[in-house]
Structure 1
């Protein structure tokens, strides 16, 4: 990999790691659905007026906006709002690697090798120990929402594949334009107008930083660089680099919020990530099956 490209990838991983802290700044103070809706509104408008709409049915944009916007990041914001720390979310979101493998096996009849199965068991063991020895950085509700997030990752990828688009970045931008609608709908369903009123009444610097960081450095810049890299390098090389987000996510949570893992959690989280690496690395074919993830970048 060229030195300049490696530097760009590291910059994106730093941004994606800090993004979990940015999510916490918004979701811990305001309605997580409203904050996430504003993120996607800012990320898609006015870009949709300058990026040509991919020639696919509108139903794919609606489906992607719902699954990616609400199922992935709406639930991710809820996980933090319900007690999951930013650092632990940066780690546990790697569950999407496991759910992607399972969906690949169920939907596309891809083979789960013995090594991949072993990696999944190692990861789940590490996750279980982290939950048992939590110091308050993992809650039952937070774990529930992050599990939904992990399940929706591969589903969003299936939508992209089924759409048949040849311009994934443009598809993502147009799909995100439909994300705010179900998010605001969920906010109204759960809180009436209170979520909207409270968010805009108490809007502050943390809210601005949260939505602007998520919309532009994380989404627009991150997607643009990552998509360029996927055209130049195989996923066997790129996929493992996403694990750097966990490191920078932990650093961001510690620096901004003083978040820490328990002693046992440091070991168990390392075990969890080791299992993820084993799943990613079996062979090039297996790694290529994870090419879905870039389009769902944080």
Structure 2
């Protein structure tokens, strides 16, 4: 993975780590299913009206939106509402990384290098160290719900990867915006049945008061920064690298999640949690250090095309541009092809020919 992409990944980690604090604030004022629906509704409406739909099959948009939007946040918000500590939630949710690696190997036939497997195991060991200290503060049901949320996120990762492969030239942000259209109606329906048809609306009205404004700020953060910016960058990375190479980066989110929970909520991390966080960082770095470069932008050694005689005229008009003309495989046409592909022209003796047409 390039240094630039690592920096983008670090931005996602920061945004998603702080997002758990925003979720906690929002859930103090809004019921979980209704809050999750609002998170996506504020993006889905302008997306449908202003953004063209990505040219990918609906199956991948539905898989991405169902896994990432419905399953992940329905389970996560419910778990946090019934007592899952914020820091621990940020940790257990990263079970999506090993889930994604396994699903990528099983469904997409992605091959894992030994260094990736070793780094992933080290990172999971770090998570286990942190979790061992924190499980005493959470009952079993919230933990299981958060694990289910992690599996939902993994399904969403597979959908994002397949959509990006199917339309490699599409805008990752457009895909991120359009997947927000999938969870809104199902989550509103679940909210109406489970939480009551008027409960969410009543809670929303109360946010427009002096005591409720933090919920609106939390909604804005989760919708714009965590979803549009964070998920947009994540989709971009998933489009450039195998799912098994990108997913381990999410293992760094608990480090930010624990830190913000400690600073703002008073959830003091133990020494073991800090050690586990360091192990997670090391494992995630190892798991992504050997990721292959994206095929669309790799800078490989230029191809050498031999056996070409550099005797073509220097006319700047490429052959075949006249109406009805058929391009001829002469020297000038080859130069234009070389200019587009970065190939190096040589003569029959193997010596580089004159530069391709500029």
Range into which the TM-score falls when normalised by the shorter chain? 0.7 to 0.9
Change beyond 3 A, Cα 1:56–1:11: closer
| Contact residue 71 and residue 148 of structure 2 kept, 8 A | yes
RMSD: 3.6
Q: Which residue of 1 aligns with 2:349?
A: none
Cα distance in 1 between the residues matched to 2:113 and 2:243: 18
SS of equivalent residue, structure 2 residue 53: coil
Change beyond 3 A, Cα 1:141–1:280: farther
Matched, 1:265 2:273: yes
1:97 CA drift (Å)? 1.8
| Contact residue 87 and residue 259 of structure 1 kept, 8 A | yes
Task: Count residues with an aligned counterpart.
Answer: 285
Q: Which residue of 2 aligns with 1:76?
A: 76
Matched, 1:199 2:207: no
1:156 CA drift (Å)? 1.4
Cα distance in 1 between the residues matched to 2:88 and 2:236: 29
**Higher percent of residues as helix:** 1
Q: Which moved more, 1:253-262 or 1:137-146?
A: 137-146
Q: Which residue of 1 aligns with 2:325?
A: none
Q: Which residue of 2 aligns with 1:254?
A: 262
SS of equivalent residue, structure 1 residue 188: helix
Matched, 1:187 2:195: no
Change beyond 3 A, Cα 1:131–1:239: closer
1:52 CA drift (Å)? 0.8
Change beyond 3 A, Cα 1:22–1:147: same
TM alignment of 1:8-157, pairs within 5 A: 11-134=11-134, 137-157=137-157
| Contact residue 97 and residue 248 of structure 2 kept, 8 A | no
Question: Which structure has the bigger radius of gyration?
Answer: 2
SS of equivalent residue, structure 2 residue 268: coil
Cα distance in 2 between the residues matched to 1:12 and 1:158: 18
1:51 CA drift (Å)? 1.1
Q: Which residue of 2 aligns with 1:293?
A: none
Q: Which moved more, 1:85-94 or 1:220-229?
A: 220-229
1:72 CA drift (Å)? 1.8
Residues 43-78 of structure 1: CA deviation (Å, up to 9, x unaligned):
222132111112344454344322221112222222
Matched, 1:165 2:167: yes
1:93 CA drift (Å)? 2.9
Change beyond 3 A, Cα 1:206–1:278: same
Q: Which runs of no fewer than 5 residues in structure 2 stay unpaired? A: 295-358
Q: Which runs of no fewer than 5 residues in structure 1 stay unpaired? A: 289-298
> TM (normalized to structure 2)?
0.66
Q: 2:291 aligns with which of 264, 284, 292?
A: 284
Cα distance in 2 between the residues matched to 1:18 and 1:2: 23
Change beyond 3 A, Cα 1:63–1:188: farther
> TM (normalized to structure 1)?
0.77
Residues 110-158 of structure 1: CA deviation (Å, up to 9, x unaligned):
3445554444444444444434332754442232122112212231133
1:35 CA drift (Å)? 0.6
Q: Which residue of 2 aligns with 1:294?
A: none
